[in-house]
Structure 1
């Protein structure tokens, strides 16, 4: 046997060195003081001034491409790009393709350098102001484009309101009063091509006398029209003052006055209405931006920004050819300032603004990670995992000041091939805040025709429509959305009186394996004039969904509403303090609608059961009901005894569950609670919402908002 110890030592040393060299990561550096012609191997400029960090993430991406072209082995070497702090202005979206991928063992990581806060900036800073009669005016040549109205403007990181008529009573138009709007005066009837009868118009709106004038800048304005669960945005084609009809360049998704003859709207981006400090507007004719500053603002103490780009970061694979973008990680990056402009024909989406794209967007991305990132001051959705995106994770990210929604996953149609399916994505421990600033019906998290996704431990708040939407097929047809899990989220302060037909969590379609559990949902305040706002809302065709261990309180029209669906299981939840009805069932069907068991329903106004409970195709038992106003509880017009004689709630009780501190919404129960005696199990809220260090938890807890005004209805 060969036993030469010297040779063995040399061989061991060679193997060890080779192994270390093979896995030693490649590190590149990016700095605002860098140069994309340099190597990027140095953090700072060398003494000769000939080499140093790169200047951009695109430069780092290109450097990696070139190095890999020279040495194929680098495709399996871990690569980290350390990005120094500062602002990196983007001339175009940063795009990664399949060739930029890493592997499971050797990912490519683009990360903020320790202690640094790099910002990828999609806007332009306005510095050259001229002042006329107290109004700041700047040249914005891009405003002349017919591609769309620049939708946003920020001063010192705060979104400013466009000049509006009538004025809003509160921030962002939240909790509106009747004075916030104009109203239609009946319908405009017209006969469409090929139609036999006249129908309500979706392009023409009749207004009341003196509501609209022939303002000089009316053709620059955007009409924002409210349609129950959505808004449509319109630009003006023609004004007829004699007939009091205004015609728009493009149609709304629904005819005007479909829901009410008194449909409400306001006029945005109207230069003639520039009156209040903090308002701004564009003049598209001469390409200028007009801003009426706040008292403390001067041109030398503000940073004024308009957006230039629609999207900032794109992962563009090709699912059809199975070329995927894989194992790229983004950590600690901030992506700020983008637009999603209102086109020449206006904008009208069916629901949830599902046509609006993400400022960060993936197509055919696999096993990619977004961690500790911030997405803010954007025009569309914050992030979108689209066709063919699987096994991606967004963790501990802060998305705020969003023109549309937070995160969208999937598409509005079924995938044609397995490679095009979207699923197994995770959004965990994120803060999704202040969305729907332009496209109001966007939601915190939207999942369309996508399966096996997990939405967990998030703070989802201050959207003008629903918090989470899951499913996206109407009725009982087969669906590609199943086994989605929505759990341990804090979902609250939604609707804000602006839109209707919404929920804290909203579902659609056949969804076997989907679970909504351990969510803390409250303050769901829809517009009170049309439809409603519920905590848990199983809409059209929702089937085989488990809704369990959720706590819901302070809703406009109910803690739970099922429009129509099949065999959903509503088990061990708390529903409290709806302003109107507590539980809603909107359609009788020839199958079991739902199983409602082991729940607590606690209220002090409104009815227990609203809408349709006639045919009896539902199972209700082991529940605890209590009206804190000491009124008799009726069950669809029946006394409790009559209700039980009909076969329902045989083991349920009407009794005070004995919450620890109901005034402060502490829903802890004592062991001898009557609810526990009939089978209710205590719900632990300690793990709900974001987790981690104290600063992260405090950020979620202390997000700014105006309180909802008191309501007497």
Structure 2
């Protein structure tokens, strides 16, 4: 039988040693015993001629001593249940065979599609499968959805919601298969309709209970962001009703008939396409295993069932949910539930996940939890995930040493297009961790925050937890806090809790909440009690709000130094916090900043979006009137956190004189805190009386920013309301 579990040293690697380790697999010993697995393997010898199944190879490895390697042949390993590796499976390497691309799949095919008169096609789902996601030839379909419903119609309360009659839901054939999807600030809710009576809808519980105020279980006074709070503005959309199936690429699940109905996209042929739905929740679980290496393995079509049950999805933050009808009252958030993941490591020691791929998942990619230590997630790809890519650690602030997540590394991974369904999810999340390194990852196309480290908000537990010595370094995060998903109050990098020795350095953060509808979306957000953190040598550009934010006075002893950014921010709050030697209000990145930005991320030669010169900086601003001290020049100070504002008056205006006619290709117009500038016209002219002038009408509110593309020569630029009201601006840039 296998010898006792081996352990390895847990010393923290230096950055140089780490990078070398990541780029080279360990040499195979001459005494290594190799077993072979194949997608349809059924042999008992586990050799090349008669490969085993995955479980067969696992069982065979348990009977061997010494170094054991399981090689996976090319192909798809269809799993109806997770592959489980325990302590007795320690010391084994599971790797793709040379040149092979093995994929563990939890998907089930939907076949036998029949045509309907309206252009849709219908197929029955296999028994035991409840399709929540559908992929057609690898492309994600969308659950049929309708328009948003404002709170004035869909008024949410603790007991339910109005609006069934005005939305037509009372006339739907199967309203109880449909869900309301709601976004309030950083939280996301998916709750199924339980009943409709006249104009009133009720929703499945405990989902609706946990989405509403008054449970006393949501920790840091989050009753202000529940569905029945004053911040609730609308149902983002209802989804999964046959009456909503009107766009190509949409589908609907009928639980009574057990059918999926799909409206094909152009060029798709239901007689020949491959339709797959995630069915198996969790594909690989390591429980108490040590010294296990997983390399070159793919994970796809793993399910996440909770949201389709009465539990629903009552989001708290970062993709974690409040579950259970009742539970302990705890204001540290200990009892929140992480999403289901394709790969879960519990209590692991020295586990390596390398060169893996995670695609088309109904939940998350990877979880390291229950005291996983000295483990690494490296050189892996995550794309098209309903939830986040990686969840590292737990929500217990003072765990025992055995259950403390420590010295884990997440590095050189690529994360793109995650949080597709659960838009409050973050790309990479770490809870109460010690000495964890998140380094050289590339993250792009994220609905909410990019990297989040820490937990506990303003609760006492967050002041004195195990959190410390974490490193968020050399990451590239672009297009976070995506405006289209209406999630707010986050940042490209987000932290919580006191964590002495934590460093945020060398990161390139570009376009966080860029184009937002409000002042929101930070670069580095040291939220709540974030304390004792050093922020240094980061490059931060095109941000919806502050480049660094520490708004709470109980976040103390934070230090920002030597960073490069195109805006400015107020001084950090909290005792002992400092901001020194930062390069702010830039309209071009200097060579040193370009070097830092280019070396960030998984690709050592990543592209950098250089800033564009701003002609407005040397111009002169005037306005039709002044509201208090909000002078016109505040829109030229290079700081998106300061405002200019006129009084409320007919055809109020703000104007810029460049001093001489210049060729202009683009304007950026950033609204102020209250979004006062709406329905306005931009006039450009070489003459002060604006005759002649080039004009552009903006009928909506100004964003952060609204961009106006042009190709004209002008000296004078005027932003003028078309009706009565205020002009309020925080920033105006003029690009040659």
TM-score (normalizing by structure 2): 0.69
Instruction: Could you tell me which runs of 5 or more consecutive residues in structure 2 were left unpaired when the two chains were aligned.
Output: 1-27, 213-222, 321-336, 589-613, 623-628, 634-664, 667-703, 709-728, 730-736
Once the two structures are superposed, residues 164-212 of structure 1 have per-residue CA deviations (whole angstroms, 9 ceiling, x without a partner) of 102xxxxxxxxxxxxxx22111896xxxxxxxxxxx8344233496234
Of the structure 1 ranges 113-122 and 293-302, higher mean CA displacement relative to structure 2 is found in 293-302
The structural deviation recorded for 1:597 is: 3.4
Of the structure 1 ranges 200-209 and 287-296, higher mean CA displacement relative to structure 2 is found in 200-209
The structural deviation recorded for 1:260 is: 3.4
Once the two structures are superposed, residues 303-339 of structure 1 have per-residue CA deviations (whole angstroms, 9 ceiling, x without a partner) of 110111111110012xxxxxxx111111111111011
2:74 to 65, 79, 85: 85
Q: Would you say the 8 A contact 1:441–1:465 is kept in 2?
A: yes
The structural deviation recorded for 1:29 is: 1.2
- The 1:365–1:276 alpha-carbon spacing in structure 2 relative to 1, beyond 3 Å, is same
Residues in 2 aligned to 1:329 and 1:593: alpha-carbon distance in whole angstroms: 42
2:19 aligns with: none
Residues in 1 aligned to 2:440 and 2:342: alpha-carbon distance in whole angstroms: 23
Instruction: Tell me, yes or no, if structure 1 residue 101 matches structure 2 residue 90.
Output: yes
Of the structure 1 ranges 554-563 and 593-602, higher mean CA displacement relative to structure 2 is found in 593-602
Secondary structure class of the residue paired with 2:84: strand
Secondary structure class of the residue paired with 2:60: helix
The structural deviation recorded for 1:630 is: 4.1
Residues in 1 aligned to 2:406 and 2:480: alpha-carbon distance in whole angstroms: 26
1:425 aligns with: 408
Secondary structure class of the residue paired with 2:189: strand
- The 1:639–1:128 alpha-carbon spacing in structure 2 relative to 1, beyond 3 Å, is closer
The structural deviation recorded for 1:292 is: 1.1
2:250 to 262, 279, 296: 279
Residues in 1 aligned to 2:374 and 2:247: alpha-carbon distance in whole angstroms: 48
Once the two structures are superposed, residues 256-292 of structure 1 have per-residue CA deviations (whole angstroms, 9 ceiling, x without a partner) of 2524363342111222111111111100111111111
Once the two structures are superposed, residues 356-390 of structure 1 have per-residue CA deviations (whole angstroms, 9 ceiling, x without a partner) of 13211110101011111101111211101001100
Residues in 1 aligned to 2:100 and 2:237: alpha-carbon distance in whole angstroms: 43
- The 1:209–1:553 alpha-carbon spacing in structure 2 relative to 1, beyond 3 Å, is farther
1:60 aligns with: 57
Secondary structure class of the residue paired with 2:88: helix
- The 1:274–1:639 alpha-carbon spacing in structure 2 relative to 1, beyond 3 Å, is closer
Question: C-alpha root-mean-square deviation of aligned residues, in Å?
Answer: 3.2
The structural deviation recorded for 1:33 is: 4.7
2:137 aligns with: 156
Secondary structure class of the residue paired with 1:540: coil
Residues in 2 aligned to 1:187 and 1:156: alpha-carbon distance in whole angstroms: 37
Q: Would you say the 8 A contact 2:164–2:196 is kept in 1?
A: no
Instruction: Tell me, yes or no, if structure 1 residue 140 matches structure 2 residue 125.
Output: yes
Residues in 1 aligned to 2:30 and 2:268: alpha-carbon distance in whole angstroms: 54
Residues in 2 aligned to 1:515 and 1:88: alpha-carbon distance in whole angstroms: 41
- The 1:371–1:515 alpha-carbon spacing in structure 2 relative to 1, beyond 3 Å, is same
Q: Would you say the 8 A contact 2:398–2:465 is kept in 1?
A: no
Q: Would you say the 8 A contact 2:540–2:547 is kept in 1?
A: yes
Q: Would you say the 8 A contact 2:516–2:705 is kept in 1?
A: no
Q: Would you say the 8 A contact 1:187–1:256 is kept in 2?
A: no
- The 1:378–1:509 alpha-carbon spacing in structure 2 relative to 1, beyond 3 Å, is same
The structural deviation recorded for 1:81 is: 1.2
1:290-301 matches, cutoff 5 A: 290-301=261-272
Once the two structures are superposed, residues 575-617 of structure 1 have per-residue CA deviations (whole angstroms, 9 ceiling, x without a partner) of 225xxxx42569x65x23443433323379xxxxxxxxxxxxx
Q: Would you say the 8 A contact 2:302–2:342 is kept in 1?
A: yes
Instruction: Tell me, yes or no, if structure 1 residue 127 matches structure 2 residue 125.
Output: no
The structural deviation recorded for 1:86 is: 0.9
Residues in 1 aligned to 2:269 and 2:29: alpha-carbon distance in whole angstroms: 57
2:525 aligns with: 537
Residues in 2 aligned to 1:627 and 1:448: alpha-carbon distance in whole angstroms: 43
Residues in 2 aligned to 1:81 and 1:388: alpha-carbon distance in whole angstroms: 26
1:241-280 matches, cutoff 5 A: 241-242=198-199, 246-249=202-205, 250-251=207-208, 252=211, 254=223, 255-260=226-231, 262-280=233-251
Once the two structures are superposed, residues 677-696 of structure 1 have per-residue CA deviations (whole angstroms, 9 ceiling, x without a partner) of xxxxxxxxxxxxxxxxxxxx
Residues in 1 aligned to 2:154 and 2:551: alpha-carbon distance in whole angstroms: 28
- The 1:447–1:100 alpha-carbon spacing in structure 2 relative to 1, beyond 3 Å, is same
Instruction: Tell me, yes or no, if structure 1 residue 442 matches structure 2 residue 425.
Output: yes
Instruction: Tell me, yes or no, if structure 1 residue 480 matches structure 2 residue 466.
Output: yes
2:300 aligns with: 336
Instruction: Tell me, yes or no, if structure 1 residue 39 matches structure 2 residue 39.
Output: no
Secondary structure class of the residue paired with 2:388: coil
2:149 aligns with: 182
Aligned residue pairs total 544
Residues in 2 aligned to 1:576 and 1:363: alpha-carbon distance in whole angstroms: 42
TM-score (normalizing by structure 1): 0.71
Secondary structure class of the residue paired with 1:545: strand
Once the two structures are superposed, residues 18-45 of structure 1 have per-residue CA deviations (whole angstroms, 9 ceiling, x without a partner) of xxx996110111123531x42012x1x3
Residues in 1 aligned to 2:530 and 2:68: alpha-carbon distance in whole angstroms: 45
Once the two structures are superposed, residues 137-170 of structure 1 have per-residue CA deviations (whole angstroms, 9 ceiling, x without a partner) of 1111447x8xxx632110111111111102xxxx
Once the two structures are superposed, residues 622-650 of structure 1 have per-residue CA deviations (whole angstroms, 9 ceiling, x without a partner) of xxx997374689xx97999xxxxxxxxxx
Residues in 1 aligned to 2:256 and 2:356: alpha-carbon distance in whole angstroms: 38
Residues in 1 aligned to 2:174 and 2:241: alpha-carbon distance in whole angstroms: 7
Instruction: Tell me, yes or no, if structure 1 residue 375 matches structure 2 residue 358.
Output: yes
Residues in 2 aligned to 1:33 and 1:237: alpha-carbon distance in whole angstroms: 43
- The 1:473–1:638 alpha-carbon spacing in structure 2 relative to 1, beyond 3 Å, is farther
Instruction: Tell me, yes or no, if structure 1 residue 388 matches structure 2 residue 368.
Output: no
The structural deviation recorded for 1:569 is: 0.6
Once the two structures are superposed, residues 551-593 of structure 1 have per-residue CA deviations (whole angstroms, 9 ceiling, x without a partner) of 111111222221211121111111225xxxx42569x65x234
- The 1:34–1:141 alpha-carbon spacing in structure 2 relative to 1, beyond 3 Å, is closer
Secondary structure class of the residue paired with 1:547: strand
The structural deviation recorded for 1:346 is: 1.8
- The 1:381–1:630 alpha-carbon spacing in structure 2 relative to 1, beyond 3 Å, is farther
The structural deviation recorded for 1:411 is: 0.8
